[in-house]
Every structure is written in C-alpha cells, then in structure tokens.
Structure 1
Amino acid sequence: MSRHLTRRHLILSSAAIAATATLPPRRAFAQNGTIRIGYVSPRSGALSGISESDGYVIDAIRATLGDTLETTSGTYAIEIIEKDTQSDPNRAGDMASDLIFQDEVDIVLVGSTPDTTNPVADLCELNGVPCISAATPWQSWYFGRGGVPGEKSFKYTNHFFWGAEDLMKVYFGLWNGLETNKVVGALWPNDPDGIAFSDSTLGFPPALQAAGFTLVDPGRYTNLKDDFSAEINAFKAAGVEIVTGVMLPPDLATFMAQAKQQGFAPKFVTVAKAALTPKGIAGFPNGLGENLSGEVYWGPQYPFTSSLTGETTTALAEGYTMATGNQWLQGTGYVHALFEVAVDVLKRAAAIEPDAIVEAMNATDLTTCVGPVKWGGFDLAPNVAKTPLAGGQWQADGAGGFRLVCTFNATAPEVAIDGTLLPKVW
C-alpha cells in the first residue's frame, strides 16, 4: 500500500538501509527458545519526568511473568531489554536500531511523545519488526510518520492513545467551567506535536473557532526557548485569558515565571505534555504549578483493571507510591498497558515471527488498565486504537505538594470526578 514519504522519511530510510548493509543478518525469531521484548523511553533528559516510573513498572512486569511465557506456539523464556533515548529523537532511532540488529528483539514497545515513538516506529516499520507504541497523541504519531487518512498505512507498527480531537473536547469543557472572555493564546512549538496541534485543518484552530473561542497564535517556537516576552506581549495586547499549548516542562516553567514577572495572569494555563507529573508541578518556581489544568489520561479515577495482574488502577497507583515514596504518575498506566498488550499478542500469535505477531496484534481486543485496546475500529487511522480521556487540574494538597484531580469527564463518563475546577493561581 502506498503512503506519502516526506524528506525526513527518505533520509531516515536511506540511513537505515545503509546501516543494514553493514550489520550482520538478524537471527531467527525467538532464537534458542527466548522471546525478547524491547522497550524504549526517555529515562533521562528533558522528558525524563514522564518516564520516572518506567523502571518500577518493568520490574513489576518481570516479577509477574517470571522466567517463561506460555504461548499458542509453545513455552518460551522471556527477556525484556530497556533502552534510554536521553530525550533525544536521534538517539531514539539509534536505540531502535540496537534493539533490532544487536539485541535481535521479537517486538518493540515505545512510549512518551513523538520524539520517542516516531523514530522508533519508523525503524521498526522499515525493518519488519512488530512495534506497539502509546503515550503520543495519535495525529502526531500517524500523520507525523506520513500516514494517509483512511488507509492502514503501516504493516508492522500500531499505536494506542487519544488524539487532539479528544483533547480539544476536554480543554473546551474545562474552559467553559469558569467565566472567561474566550480569548485563547497558543504556545505551539516547531515539533511534531506543535505542528499537529496547530494544523489549520485537523488541529486546534478550526475547532477553537467553531466552539466560539478567539485564537491568538504568535507562531511556532523552538523548544528550550529562553525568552517568551514576544508571546507574552502579544497575549497581553489581545486580552488573552486562556493559555494553551503542548510544551516541554522547562519551557512551561520559563513561560510562567516570565508571565508573572511581566504582569500577565490568565485565568487558565492548560498545557499538554509539560504538566503531567507531580514533581514537575512542584518544581515550577514560586508555586506557579498550582491549578494548572490539562488532561487526565490515567489514574485511580479510571475504573479499569490490569489484564496481567488483576490490579485496579488504585492498586497500581498505590503500589508505586508504597514502593518508591513518590506520587503516582499518569504514564505509569500506559507503560503497564504496553506490556499487557504485548503479552496478550505474544500469547495469541500462531508463531513467534513478525507476520504472525502482526496478525495477532491486529486482532487485539483487550481491556487494559488504561481502557479497551482494539485495532480496526477507527477508520480515519486504522493503525490506531483510541483510549479514553478526561480533564482536571493540579490542586494544592495542603501538605506543600499538589494532587491531580479530575474535574471534567463528559468525554469519558466512566472516569470518576474527584475535584472542583478553580482559577489558575499566580
């Protein structure tokens, strides 16, 4: 099946083809009776906060699985191999290459932003290695990789998560919960997320207009920006009362500190990606993390259980806190769910080889700790399975920290509301 190839894809493909010419042939799959699962995430660098619980989750998965996995085609030893991208998209591709050619894995799992999921998925697709990804809005993953609307554009790579359309509904629901002038200032960077969110056809701009909001968009900015004065001045001049975006944590910290210094105090700061972790919220200067609003995509408010362990979301969250002393993270659920899906796929595969694994992957119909995962029901992007999304904000917990409460669930009524929306504190 044809699909559009961007210059980035051509460069990537050429580099990968060159690499395959110098590397030894790949082993037979499940060689010596061992299934190898590769896992890639940003364990260090700017995105490391999102992946803080990865090691805990993977150790728990290892303990649950033990040394072997019983599948339709036999019993195999099982090995999980972890790789750290250091929050670098180029290194993400390198880590995928290592897993494919050096570690010779049978399936790759990857999560946490398109800078991680996309280069890994591209290398797996090119080299015929099954790959399951999550924790990236589906538009950034699908269209960011050249996916064609309405086509099953990829053979070896599937994804599960929510999309920009779900995030819009959540954000609009949050913003309509307090009185504002409906003037929205956008902070969308020049990266796959920012480009997808700002798209004039499928992104936020047309949806904002249709919902009665006025958009102030000062244009794409480069990540790790050190001065947002131009954006702040544009927002002040336009009377912006709502700020939205999809930002790295350091950029949101810089923006909020400078906004306060320059007397800009919007009623909402609702930003994807940057406002996901309790340590990140607590780390914003002068308590500026209080009442940041955004997505609630996993937590004890969700009513699901793990297909691997039978644990509820509450038990999974509390288990992490008891083991580490840290607050639960939204990303914990999606890392756990990636392994739920992978184990389910491997158990059902008629053989531990790529085409059989892909066949089992496409036939997945599994309720995980993040919700149902089933491919084939989303016609716009058949490689994508949609998962539920609610909204909320980070409120002071009375002990010097912050807790993520759910205040909006019209998009996912099964998710419990456990807080009341409040204006942003400056």
Structure 2
Amino acid sequence: MSTASQATPFIPGQRWSSNSEPELGLGIVEIVDTQFVNIRFPACDELRRYSVESPPLHRIRFQPGSAIKDSSGNEHTVDEVEEKNGVLVYHCDGLKIPEEQLNANMADRGPIERLTDGQATDCKLFDLRLRALRAMFDWRRSPVRGLYGGKMDLIPHQLYIAHEVSNRQSPRVLLADEVGLGKTIEACLVLNRLLVCGRASRVLILVPGSLVHQWFVELLRRFNHWFSIFDEERCLSIESGQSETNPFDDDQLILADIDWLAESPKRTSQAIEAGWDLLIADEAHHLKWDAEQPSDKYQLVDALGQAAHALLLLTATPEQVGLENHFARLRLLDHGRFSDFEAFKTEIENYKPVAALCRKLLSSQALKNEELERFPVTHALLEQAKTELAANGQIHDTTRDKLIRELADRHGTGRVLFRNTRKTISGFP
C-alpha cells in the first residue's frame, strides 16, 4: 500500500481505508475535484469528504498470494495484480475482479503487510505510541493504582486501610473509625480501586434515606462515579417497559435507601437475584439482631452479603448497642468465624493478655521465655523466637513482625475490624 498524496491521485473506483476510523471498512472513491475527495464506505453506509492534501487515508492494494473476498462474500486468492487507468484488477483463478467489487467488510491488512508495502508512519508518532504504552504499563502495575486521582488529600490512616483492605482477595471488613475520621472516604477508596483494577463491576450501596444524596455527591465529586439512585418509582419505570425484567439489572452502580429495600420483599428478592461484586452498608449499627428474630434490614444485608464477593460495613459505634449486636455485625462478614455468641464472649475475655504481648512486641520491649510460652502461635514460629532470644538476647524484627501477624490472624477481630480514634490519630479536632 501507499499513502495518499499528490503523487497518488484519487480516481473513482479506487479502494481506500481510513487511518482514524478503520471500523468503516473499505471505502470507494466517488467524486474527486482539485481540493476534495468524496469516499463512500458501503459497510456502514457512510460518506466522508476529505481534503486531497494529506488526508488520513491509505490506499488498499493486495499483493499476489493474498486472500480477498468479492462483494458476494466468495473467497479468492490473488494470482496477479493489474492496474488499468489507476484502478486495480485482481486476477484470481482465471477470474478478473476489479477492486470496486471487493467486499466492503473485508478487514484491512496487518502491520507486517503495511510495512512490506512501505507504508510507515512518522517516527514521532511511533515514539508517542510507545511512550503511551509504557505509561499505561506503569499505571497498571502501580501499587497505588486506584488509590490516587480522587479530589481529596490522602491521609495516612485512610490510605493504609484502603490499601490493606483492597489488596485482599475477598475484602469483608467492618470500618469503625470514630466520627469525622473518614470511614466514607476509606470505603470509597476501596470501591474505586476495585473498579479501576477490574475486580468489581457491580456495586450496591445501602444507606439510610437521609444519606443517599450525600453519598451520591461524594462519589461523583471526589471520584467521578455516577451511581443510579434506586427507589420504588424508578423500579416501576423500568418495569413498565417489560414487566418480567429485574430492575436491578438495569445499572451496574446502584445507591439505595436501605429502609425502602428492606420493607419490600419483592425488591429484596430482585436485589439478591441480581448479584453483586461489592456491597457497602453504612450506619451498620442500625442493623438490629436477635438470634430468634433478626430485623428486616439485618436479614437484607445478610442475604446480599452472602451472595456478594466483597462486603464493607461502616459504623462509628461498633459496641454502643451491645456486645451481642457487635457480634452480629461480625457474623455478617464471616458466618464460619463468628458462629457462636457464647464462644465469642469467651474469646473476648482472653484478648487482654494477647494484647499485652502484642504491645511488648510493637514497642520492641525485652521478652522472657516464660512470656513466649504464652504466645498462641505455631510451634515452629515459637521455637524460632526462642532460639533468637537465647542467642542474641532479643528477637529479630522480622520474627517480631511474623508473631504480630500470626496473632492478628489467629485471634480476635484484627483482620476484619478497623477502628481509629482521635486519641491515636493526630491532626483531628
């Protein structure tokens, strides 16, 4: 192929392809004058008008051995190419096929064929594409991809929680920072990262009715995510076109009043059937639970949460309404881990000695063998710590980190509950 120029005049019947719109298919030159050329693209019934001076077009010319299709869709192999008055004629198995009879939907040739024909773009354009690809590669492998770009100042404790939670394969956590420390921002950061990285596409956010528009504005203004606000009127409008449709399948990102949804068995069933990658429930302390009679809102979040890949619960007062309700919220996150309330109470009573050991590890205080014996960790890690203590009088930092991580994994709510207070976070009134 060769590019369009004054040295290659346009002639009616020639086939050309658009560099900027290759999806148009093969175009046919219809009208040519001294300044403009009209090219019709039969595949999409479009007409384009280009300047004859350096238009974004390239000439279609197939070489012997190439596979082509005629206007009827029959395939042929080119034996010879003949040019008559500027229009190409392809000789194929004894047939002569003028280029205007080529199939308009036939795909243009690849980069190797274009290079063989001497069709090459400017080196500056190649360098630009290469830089763009490298920038895209760097962005995709960035450890903070999806955590920056929002219209806000990143605060260390918020960034840590968002990074820690979003890195998990199936994030299911209770965000319980004190009021004003940014639980909503943390949840939005996790949401944004999962969306940007392609790990979530369907998201449902349930909040009290008074917070619906606050969440909508926050998501749009800070992260440019447009959530559809669902209520009964919207669902009826969607169903008016097709009564059997599930309105929750109409959008990928949905924000709804939890009271409205919980009060409607029909809408609850539809929301569960729709399926979600991520469920977020704000003001989770309002989810009342009783072993015999859980509230409608609790049952709603429980059913949706079990079906969802990821679940974020937000509350500023995790234990304000009693230990039993705190256990109930943890149960929403992991039914297997938090299945027995009495066992949970017994476990809580053992938190203090474990927490005291953790404080010693975090502050790098000296430990004794008797204290190490009380560490509820694996035997291999315990023996490693004892060996280091006997040899050096202290435990290596890497072993300390392993001990802390294992304690968090095996005891308490260290991996599912995140709570920051003003006492521990500086800079907040």
Q: Which TM bucket (shorter chain)?
A: under 0.3
| Higher relative contact order structure (alpha carbons within 8 Å, sequence separation ≥ 6) | 1
Larger radius of gyration: 2
- TM-score, L = length of structure 2: 0.27
